[in-house]
A = this chain, B = another copy of it.
Amino acid sequence: MLKPLGDRVIVTVDKEEEKTVGGIVLANNAKEKPQTAEVVAVGDGLVADNGTKLPMSIKKGDKILFDKYAGSTVKYEDNEYLILHEKDVMAIVD
């Protein structure tokens, strides 16, 4: 299991649904790569200079919209994850 540190969240990026026309798989436009993901683990939050722990606004299981140029991809036990800082999560999808 991976436990993110600080204000990091670990997510699994949603797979693009293949668009098919009469059974033919169509390549997607690179500009429309998915930006939604599911949160699988959440850090404890940043510790501010005065020792206050700043709480996270995201929890495990949340579906999120993230900034597509953010995060680091890691491979762990054959799964691919994206590790993001909370500030790069733009919105929660309800």
Does chain B have a CB within 8 A of A2? Answer: yes
Does chain B have a CB within 8 A of A16? Answer: no
- How many copies make up the complex? 7
Q: A35-B74, A57-B44, A76-B65 are in contact. Are A92 and B3 (CB under 8 A)?
A: yes
B5 contacts A91, CB within 8 Å? Answer: yes
A40-94 residues with Cβ-Cβ distance < 8 A to B are 41, 44, 47-52, 54-55, 57-58, 65, 67-68, 72, 74-76, 83, 86-87, 89-94
Alpha-carbon gap, A52 to B12, bound state (A):
31
Q: How large is the interface on A (under 10, 10 to 19, 20 to 34, 35 or more residues)?
A: 35 or more
Q: Closest B-chain residue to A88, C-beta based?
A: B5
